[in-house]
Chain A
Amino acid sequence: MSFVEWTFLFGGLAVAGPLIAHLLARPRFRRLPFTMLRFLHTGQIESQSRRKLRDLLILLLRCAIIVLIAMLFARPLLHVSGDPGQTGSVFFLGLDNSMSMAYSDADSSYFDKMVDSAVDFIRTAKADPAAPVFNVCTLASGDWARNLTAEQALAHIKTIGVEQDSADVGEFLSGVSQASRAQHAGAEISVAVFSDFTPNVLRQLISTEEPVAVAEIEHRQVGSSRSVDNAAIVDAHVAGFADGMLSINAAVANHGQIEQNRRLTANARTESSPAVEITLPANQRRIYQVQIDLGAAGQEQQFLPVELSLSGRDGLKEDNAFYLGVSVPGHKDTNVLLVGDSANEMFLVKTAADTLSRTNPYDTFNIRSVLAGDLVQSDFAWADVVICSTIAERLSYLSASVQTFVSAGGRLICFLTETIAEEAARQLWQRGVLAALPGNCVHGPMYPESKPRDSRAFGVDNLAAKSLTNYRVDKILLKGYLECKGHADSRCLWQLQNGCGFIYLKRHGRGTSILVNTSADDSLGLLTKSNASVAFCRYLLGESSRVSEHSFVRNERVTLPIPEPQASSGERRQFWVETCDGRKRRAAVTDSLLLVPDPMGIGWVKTVGKPATYAGVNLPQGETDMARPAAGELASVMDRVFPVDVDKEAAQAGTFDGTQRRAIWRIIAWLIILLLLLEPVVANRLKR
C-alpha cells in the first residue's frame, strides 16, 4: 500500500489524544468511607477485568478511527497484481476543435497547427518503452476515444474536424479525473491540452473548482505569429417594423488587432438591405442598424430567414454571418359585432377594441353594434368576432347561423346575465355552440351560499388574468350567481374557489366560443360595462399580432413557433423540422412552440412544410474572440487546474514491477462509518 498524500499520515499521531485520555482519564473512583460493605459484597458486582476489557476495546476503536481518517486523507493506493494493459504511462489529450480553431491566416489554420502539434506529441510519447495508452477528447463535442495505442491515436486525430461549436473543457476534466481515480489509478497520467486558449476557454479553466492531479501536464497554445484579423457579428435583434420596413440592430465586434473596414448587409430571401459601411478599430464592439424593405410583402404574414453578413475577408469566415428568424405578422382586419340590448351597453368594449386597433399596426378592428332584436343572419357572415352582452331571445332563431359561424372559425363571446333567454341558451347548447349551460337551464337559479374568496385561472393569459383580478369577483358576488354546467369538450379557464366556473372556452375547429359567467354582477354592472372589460377585451378578441424573432446560440434549446394554420386549429400532430445539417427530425410540441432537438451546428432550423418558420442558430458570443492570454497567466491557470503530483511520479516506480495500485478510500470510509457506529454501542454497554 502507498499513499498519495502521505503527509496526512502524520495525522495518525493524533491517537496520542485518546491514549493520553485513557491513561489520565481512566475511570476515577470517588473514595468514600462506608459501613455496610457486607451488604454490597453480596450484590452483583461487575467484573473489573471485564470493564477493563471494554475500556481497552473503546480505546482501540477510537484509535482505529483516527488512524483510518488519517489514511483516508492520505489517499491510500493498494498494490494488487496488475493488468499489464493498465500499467505504464497514460496520456490524456484535449484537442480544441471549436469554431475558433478554424481561424486561418497566411500560414495555415489554427486547427491544422494543432493537429501537427498533437501528432508530434504522440510520436514523442510513443518512444516510451512502457507502451503508453492514449485517450483523446475533442473539446467542442466532448467525445472521447479511449485506450488507444499511438497508431490508433494518430489515426483518430486525422478524423477530427472543426465543429461549429464552442469548446467545453468540463467534459475533458471530468474524464481525466474519473480515469485517474479508477481506471488508471496508480498509472502515470500525463495531460496535454492543445488549444488556442481563447478567453472563453480560459474562463472555463479559471472557474474549475476541482483540480486534477497528474504526473505531467503540457499545454500548447496554438496561434500565429501574425496579428489576428477577425471581425464577427455577435448579436442581432429586430428594432422595429413600420411601413414594410424591417429594422435590425446588429452588434459587430472586432476581435483582432487589425482595424476592420467592412460592409454589413442583411438578406431576407430575395430582399436585401442597403450595405452599411463599417469602420471598426481593433478590439471594439459597436451596434449598426440595417433596414430591409419588404414592400407589399410586408402586409402579409411572413416567416423570414434574415441573414446578416459582413463582406470582405478575415481569418474566420463562419462568424461573419448571423442568422435571425423573424416572424412578420400580416395585416389583419377583424370585424367585431357587438350585440346588446341597448345602444351604449357595449361602449367600453367598443372603446377597448378601437384602442387596440390604433396601437397595433397589424390589426384593425372594424366594429359594428347591433341591438339583439335586430340581429340577422347576414351579420354573422360579416363578423369575425361576435360579442353578446347576454344570451338574447333572438339567438334561438339564429342558432343554426351561430353554429355555422363558429364552425367557420368565428369567435363567439357570450356574457351570462341573470336575464338570459333560456330557450336560446338551450338551443345553442344542444348544437354544441355554448361552452357551458347556464344553471337556470339546468335546474333553476342557483345561489351558492358561500361567497368565493378567490379564483384560479387555467390557461388564461396573464393580461386577461390581471384584468379579471381587477374585476374583483370576490367583491361583487353578493347575490349568488348561476352555476354553469361545462360542455364535455369545453375547458373551464377561470374557476372560483368554491368550484364554480367563471370562464368557459370551447373550440370548434378554428372557431371558438367563450362563455363568461357574469350572472351575479348586476349589483355593480356587467363585466362589459366595467373597467375590467378594457383589459379583458384583448383576450376576448384573440391574440394580437406582433413581430417576433427567433435567434439562438449553440447549446441553447431551440424553439420554433407553430406555423399557421396548425396553431389556430389547435391540432396536435407530429411536426418535422430541418436542422442545420439539413437532416429532418421530429420536434416535440408544447402549447405554442416546437422544441427542436440538437440543431447540429450553426445556421437555419426550419419547419418542414409551408409556410415554413425559421430560427437562427449562431455561435456563442465570445467563441471567436481571438484575444491571446499571457503565457504566464496561462501557465499559472494550467498548473492550478492540473497540479503535478510528485507522488504519482514516485508511484510510477511501483507500476513496473507488475503491480497495479487501486484507490481504497471507499473501503476506509466505510470502515470509519462502521467504527463510528460501533463506538457508542460499546460505550453505552460500558455504562450499563
Chain B
Amino acid sequence: MKQYRKYLDPVFLSKLGNMDLVARCAVEGFFSGLHPSPFHGFSVEYSDHREYHSGDELKFVDWKVFGRSDKLYIKQFQQETNTTAYILLDSSQSMAFAGNGGVSKFKYGCFLAAALSYLMLSQCDSTSLILFAERVTKRIGAQSKRTHLNTILAALQNSKPAGQTNLAGILRTIAETTKRRGIIILISDLLDDEADIYEGLSHLKFVKHDVIVFHTMDHQELNLDYEGLIQFEDMESKARMRTFPQSLRQGYRQRVAEFLNDIERTTGNCGIDYCLLDTSKPLDRALVAYLAKRKRLM
C-alpha cells in the first residue's frame, strides 16, 4: 500500500459512503447525477438500452441495433456531472502549528482535502487541488478520472508547509484564473488581513463559485491553555513575545471568539458556507457533521 493511501483509510471512507455532496445551484446542473450542473457534460459512457418511445430524440437511437434487430432502441448513458471542485489548501508556515504535539493544521487539512477529493471523484466531479502560501505552490488541474485521485494524493503527500500567508491575493488569483464555475473549498487558518480575506471570498462568490470555507484551528489557538512562562515565536513573521499565558487567557479567548464570529457572520452574509474545525477533534466527525448539514440545506 502506497504511503499516500493512508488518506483514504477505508474506515474513514466507509463513514462517508452514503453521503453525497450536493451543490447548491441546482438550476445549472444536469439532471443526471446528483449534482445539478450549469453545463452539459463532454464525455458519456454507455450504461444501458431501452425501447424507443415517442418523443425520444432520434439522435439517441442506436441504429446498429436497429439494423440487426429491426427494433428501435435508445442508448442510455451514465451522465457525468460537470461540477468542478477546487480544493484550496493553505500550506503556509502557520499551518504547520501543532499545539500539543498532535496533528498539525496542515496535516489535518491534507486529510480533509484527500477525503473530499475521493468523494468528489467518486461522484465523477472534476477535482482540482491548489496548494498555496504567498503564492500558488502547487496546482493540479481539474479532472474527473478516478486515477486523478492518485495525483492529488501524491501532491498532498509531498507538500510541506512553508512561507507566509497571502490569502487575499491567492483568492483574487483563483477568482481571476478559474473560468469554470465550481465549488471552491478553502482549507485554511485564515490568518491574514480579515478585510482582504472577505474581499477575496466575495470576489469568488461574485464569479458564481460556490464557496465552502473549512477554518482549521488548533485547540491551543482556540483556548490558549499554556501554563508558565512562555516565549511565543510567530511561525511566519518570527516575531517574539514573552508572557504569562494564564494572565492573558481570558482576553485572548474573547478576542478569538470575536474573530471567529466576524468570519462566520461575514461569510454567512456572502452566502458562503463556513465550518470551524478543531484539529484536536476527529476529522471524520467534523466532515460528516458538515456534509450532513449540506445535505439538509439541499
Contacts and interface: CB of A to CB of B under 8 A. Distances in A.
A485 to B, nearest CB: 76
Interface string A3-36: 0000000000000000000000001111111111
A43 B229 contact: no
Contact of B230 (A29, A44, A46): A29
B4 interface: no
Contacts of A45: 241, 243, 248
A48 B248 CA distance: 15
Interface in B192-249: 218, 221, 224, 226, 228-237, 239, 241-244, 247-248
A380 B235 CA distance: 118
B255 interface: yes
A380 B248 CA distance: 102
Contacts of B233: 31-34
B228 A43 contact: no
Contact of B241 (A35, A40, A44): A40
B259 interface: yes
A28 B232 contact: no
Given A39-B256, A40-B232, A45-B243, A34 B97 contact: yes
Contacts of A31: 230-231, 233
B244 A43 contact: no
B80 interface: no
B231 A40 contact: no
A35 B252 contact: no
A39 B234 CA distance: 12
B244 A46 contact: yes
B231 A39 contact: no
A31 B226 CA distance: 12
Contacts of A32: 226, 230-233
Given A41-B241, A46-B243, A46-B247, A35 B229 contact: no
A42 interface: yes
Nearest to B239: A37
B189 interface: yes
Contacts of A42: 251, 255
A40 B252 contact: yes
B166 interface: no
Contact of A30 (B97, B218, B229): B229
A43 B253 CA distance: 10
B191 interface: yes
Contact of B243 (A28, A33, A35, A40): A40
Given A40-B252, A43-B252, A44-B247, A35 B230 contact: no
A48 B242 contact: yes
A35 B242 contact: no
Interface string B148-165: 000000000000000000
Nearest to A33: B235
A453 B231 CA distance: 75
Contacts of A33: 97, 232-235
B259 A39 contact: yes
B80 to A, nearest CB: 40
A35 B235 contact: yes
Contacts of A44: 247-248, 251
Q: Interface centre among B189, B218, B236, B242, by most A CB within 10 Å?
A: B242
Q: Interface centre among B191, B226, B234, B239, by most A CB within 10 Å?
A: B234
Given A27-B229, A40-B232, A46-B243, A35 B191 contact: yes
A467 B218 CA distance: 87
B248 A36 contact: no
B127 interface: no
B255 A30 contact: no
Contacts of A37: 232, 234, 237, 239, 241
Interface string A77-95: 0000000000000000000
Contacts of A39: 252, 255-256, 259
A14 B94 CA distance: 48
A69 to B, nearest CB: 30
Report the interface size class on chain B. Answer: 20 to 34
A536 B242 CA distance: 89
A34 B228 CA distance: 15
A43 B248 contact: yes
A39 B189 CA distance: 14
Contacts of A40: 224, 232, 241, 243, 248, 252
Contact of A29 (B94, B221, B229, B237): B229
Contacts of A29: 229-231, 242
Contacts of B259: 39
Contacts of B244: 46
Nearest to A687: B244
A38 to B, nearest CB: 8
A141 to B, nearest CB: 70
Contacts of B248: 40, 43-45
A193 to B, nearest CB: 65
Nearest to B97: A35
Contacts of B247: 44, 46
Interface in B240-281: 241-244, 247-248, 251-252, 255-256, 259
A30 B241 contact: no
Q: Interface centre among A31, A34, A44, by most B CB within 10 Å?
A: A34
A319 to B, nearest CB: 81
B252 A34 contact: no
A84 B106 CA distance: 89
Contacts of B224: 40
Interface in B54-97: 94, 97
B250 to A, nearest CB: 9
B229 A36 contact: no
Nearest to A28: B229
Contacts of B256: 36, 39
A424 to B, nearest CB: 91
A390 B248 CA distance: 92
Nearest to A48: B242
A41 B255 CA distance: 11
A600 B297 CA distance: 115
B191 A36 contact: yes
B126 to A, nearest CB: 33
Nearest to A35: B94
A31 B233 CA distance: 7
Contacts of A28: 229
B148 to A, nearest CB: 32
A31 B232 CA distance: 6
A28 B228 CA distance: 9
A364 B293 CA distance: 117
B238 to A, nearest CB: 10
A39 B253 CA distance: 9
B243 A34 contact: no
Given A40-B243, A46-B244, A35 B189 contact: yes
B280 to A, nearest CB: 15
Interface in A38-64: 39-46, 48
A36 B215 CA distance: 14
Contacts of B226: 32
Contacts of B234: 33-35, 37
Contacts of B235: 33-35
Contacts of A35: 94, 97, 189, 191, 218, 221, 234-236
Given A34-B235, A46-B243, 11 more contacts: A29-B231, A32-B226, A33-B232, A34-B97, A34-B234, A35-B191, A35-B221, A35-B236, A36-B221, A40-B243, A42-B255
Interface of A: 27-37, 39-46, 48
Ranked nearest first, the 10 interchain pairs of A and B with the lowest CB-CB distance are A29-B231, A34-B232, A43-B248, A43-B251, A35-B94, A37-B234, A29-B229, A33-B235, A35-B97, A39-B255
9 contacts: A29-B230, A35-B235, A37-B241, A40-B243, A42-B251, A42-B255, A43-B251, A44-B248, A46-B243
Interface of B: 94, 97, 189, 191, 218, 221, 224, 226, 228-237, 239, 241-244, 247-248, 251-252, 255-256, 259
